[in-house]
Chains A and B, each alone.
Chain A
């Protein structure tokens, strides 16, 4: 069985929450470890940054 699936079913969820923050709050309230992401739709125009990133990822 996939390790992450086994850990989900046997140890419980350890979650990354992508979207509505209420879900992360509700998980935290139940003692679950959760990281809230600040997700944004992919931007069409961030060329400076992708250039920079490509440049520096060598």
Chain B
């Protein structure tokens, strides 16, 4: 059980019925955490998941009465600072210190949609990232005002999603989400997305990091992407019926600027997959389907079927460049053998694989690849229900964890913004003498931490003090040198800490698995 040392005394305070977005909460926590005499501070909404995280961090939540609509201010430190810290936290919430200063202050921010539209009547997109329980209604308001919607928020009820998408479809508007963190429009990154050139490919994605990985892998092969339309993962399930995947795909197939269409995500519901296939087969342009972990196979122009993200990008790039697809596929197969050779050179390890992921689709892909080589993989988002971790903070045998899941993100920052949970988890994992390989992703670009590699490496160095050479750390960087974090620099930081960095998530997952499978 993961437990950080309890340093000093603690104070927990519940502020009832209040609303602050996660970023504000994190920033205030950071300010308080930096106060003299404070050893740790956390501000989060009172969800069950957050209470468990607080408990694991050493806070005594046994007598705490809080609902998800209440704010919990938790501080640990020296006796005489605790009250002050809590008071400061409340003050900072209503009067953020990072906003003070300049004469004249900030620009006014309209409080109503109508007010905002007086200032920008030509607006064509609403980007919504408020709490899920409100986001659906906000989206309906935006659709009523004839705006396309990017719905970054998750935890939007299914019925609401269907209502919103039907209303939008009726008006011919796009709804990208819920739970859509990544959109690219004419090369512009919206939400968490990367800086890549524009070009002949466009992507429809029912998977956030799925879009990012394909986007980046295309760029690495010199191929640009014009649009990357996210639809949210639930779109392709039978209840939603693929409304937006179909709408977006049709749009892009009819668009003269698009030469190759990529549709990527986890396998859709069978009837949705059928409709997509039908649409693709009737297309005059090549369509690359990347249903990660899907069962279908084969290339028959105009439809090319892939089951991994890098593979999808490689095939799409070949089509865009007029290269021979079978040849490109053969080259990729050859790379698998090279990975085995690399694993032998690094030196196989005994024991278990532990994967710590920030990207959901990347985690999913890693599980698929690892399962083929190592057998059953446990997870908080497992491929099979019986492999679900009882406690996501506690790995079992081969385990790959998605830190972007609800239980880690309700009222907290996403792991692509806050690396601390994964950084400390490295040490927990290597304490287990049966762990041989640790695998992880580093996703960069807009919306992400300005330098995730450095924070992760701090955790890795501490871990290596515990395990030495026993554990091999393997990673991939999902990003480009044009991202503000600079993918090349992130890679160097990781390599300097002894991490083996591979060119894609698929390669990293495969290598990590071979390092363990070849040790017999």
Contact = CB atoms under 8 A, between A and B. Distances in A.
Q: Do chains A and B touch in the complex (CB under 8 A)?
A: yes
Interface of A: 1-5, 7-9, 11-24, 26-27, 30, 32-33, 35-42
B116 A37 contact: yes
Contact of A12 (B112, B127, B188, B447): B188
Main secondary structure of the interface of A (DSSP, over half): mixed
Question: For chain B, which range describes its interface: under 10, 10 to 19, 20 to 34, or 35 or more residues?
Answer: 35 or more
Interface stretch (B170-178, B272-280, B311-319): B170-178
Interface in B133-188: 134, 138, 142, 146-148, 152-153, 171-174, 185-186, 188
Contact of A38 (B110, B119, B146, B171): B110
Given A2-B146, A5-B174, A16 B129 contact: no
A35 B110 contact: yes
A16 B188 contact: no
A58 B125 CA distance: 30
List 4 A-B pairs, minimum CB-CB distance, nearest first: A19-B129, A2-B172, A38-B109, A26-B446
Contacts, number: 132
Given A4-B148, A9-B185, A27 B23 contact: no
Given A14-B120, A15-B125, A5 B148 contact: yes
Interface of B: 19, 21-23, 107, 109-113, 116-117, 119-120, 122-131, 134, 138, 142, 146-148, 152-153, 171-174, 185-186, 188-191, 227, 251, 255, 446-447
Contacts of B174: 5, 8
B133 to A, nearest CB: 9
A12 B148 CA distance: 12
Q: Quick one: which of B21, B123, B130, B446 has the most chain A CB within 10 A?
A: B123
Nearest to A40: B111
B185 A23 contact: no
B23 A16 contact: no
A26 B189 contact: yes
B108 to A, nearest CB: 8
A37 B123 contact: no
Given A18-B130, A19-B128, A22-B447, 8 more contacts: A12-B186, A13-B124, A18-B113, A20-B129, A23-B127, A23-B447, A26-B190, A27-B127
